[in-house]
Structure 1
């Protein structure tokens, strides 16, 4: 028995014989829905999945990957690969980021915690900057949470607020950015009527500005840094509504909107981040916030030339990496996910192999292991990351690295070195193929 009163010992499987390698294949994005012409999986050629389903109908089970089944607030909340892999890896349901934030906002505890009080020290003389995805998609952030943060901060002494908005078009419809910007502009106008200097300072599309992940492309972070911190961008506008409408009219979609800054009548940026300011990244999902957190917090940062590094008070909405303790300060404590399957397996002498490409590697390692980086036991585990192609969008190359991932998984199985092989491939919306590794 462990110190917590439970045993790590797992009973033998009642049917699965010892000595057989188990493959755990996560098709991220695969699902079953109404079979019509809008269902890409239904209209695609999927002989492998079809044969598996028809060959063992009694074993085919559907599991919910959204809503309360994966720890999200309501059944209306779509799932995402983070909460899905957390639930799969832990085998249990934990209250997840959005729900934790909702509870903290509803109770007001978010404004009494260490993280908010740390940032609040800037209110007297500095500016509060809020950086994140402007969307109600509920995957990375939610508009209503941002609105409550604005309200709570203004009521607690924030006199100068700047928003750095990232447009979505991925978790919500492309083009919805205009409506979101108009909505938040009304909220800011109301704050200004109360004597609070509140404005949007910069923006850009989520896939082109700030929200890269797994150190795939630091240029994405640099474009955000230049606009948000330095107040520099290739496009300058008097308002965010004008910026989004103009850039979209020029051919950019919400996801890839180029960076822009808002300027005053003299052409000066209205809200660069400077010494003495406070910064909060208001996304609750971790994977696309780690890189910006590093650039804001690390003194020895060397991924790109930051030019100017302001002395700020920075906090994340959540702690985005528990292993790195990043960021140091955060407004809401993340879920404590313990006793994950990976930890159980190494305690039982089960050798595991995990593989995916860069943009999904953290899903079969970090998220699977309960938001924990690194190995539980490096002698029992092997993780392989296949570099994603930089600058090639998923709709252009929908298969991504599925073939290379499958080949690595095949080799791991045939090596007989591992008892369990985990691998994940992102099933993009436009997929028209399948990979059979055997």
Structure 2
């Protein structure tokens, strides 16, 4: 975009005015600080070579390092920065973590170690990687970790929900992206990635019943309680899970597994279908669908009764199914919208972008443009784009804006739309890997 003057003006401001030795916040999120602050500074350094940015990144890394000073050497998720500075203070165990809070340090910490030649940051993340690797095939859903995890091998499998969605997503994402960052030199990450995809194909991915009989996939949630037998798949659809298509496209390309690229294509197009069929062309935060009774032979006209049966189970039988659909303003094949907000998330366009860069399929550009037109129409205001409180309001009411715009709209969503229509040499995936906030890091073997 050739905004070099603006960029270096911002670098001067960061260098002169930003300190990571103090904060006015009572607590900081270690996870968010890593993926946003550390990842952003590392990326800006990789793009520009400006040593001042690496120095600031190291300041962030040193600050976060202290959050791992716990009995299990696991990070405190909501960290009292001020208490940690008190002499003689002892930090207790966080007790449990969300999977994403535990498993999303590897990419940014490893890049920091590579640039500073100080292994201590990578070693913190590697300790977590070793624990996840050790326990991966011994959970209630072998190959996947629960969204809520304990801090030791004996206690890690404490949760009952297994998903690529909320509270878990980036831990899985980074297994493939660490293969990219290190050029496949550490086989542990490739094995963890492959295990998780095998398990997800069995327990998470399903073919949704849809009017066009499209051969697409959606990533749901597996549930398994101790002693309850085999896991079962909930046919949910979270916007957050839409990153999975890009993960499989990238991971398949890196590991030479075409079946993963093909599966990633079906997942990415599943999210495109959810946008197209969703209220006002948007995919809300979370919805419930219905799976084809036979993934290999799915016909809407023949199997529509499966959808109707799911509606009766959800809403009862006091009303005709047609009235239930109309009253709840349900798109065809949808059972329930249980998270109706739209907050400008990037995961769907991220997967479309990665799939396009991997396959070169130009149809993806047309499908992405339809997504963009719907998003911009629904969210544009006089000042900026706003999140929407409910994409499916009753009685044809206008969408209600929430007067908020998450930072990922700029750092991720708009970036992926822009790069999709740019020349593929710009931020080539042969040279760069994007962290979970879409901050590009230079690959080790580029």
| Higher share of residues assigned helix | 2
Band the TM-score falls in, shorter-chain normalisation: under 0.3
Higher relative contact order (CA 8 A, sep 6+): 1
TM-score (ref. length: structure 2): 0.26
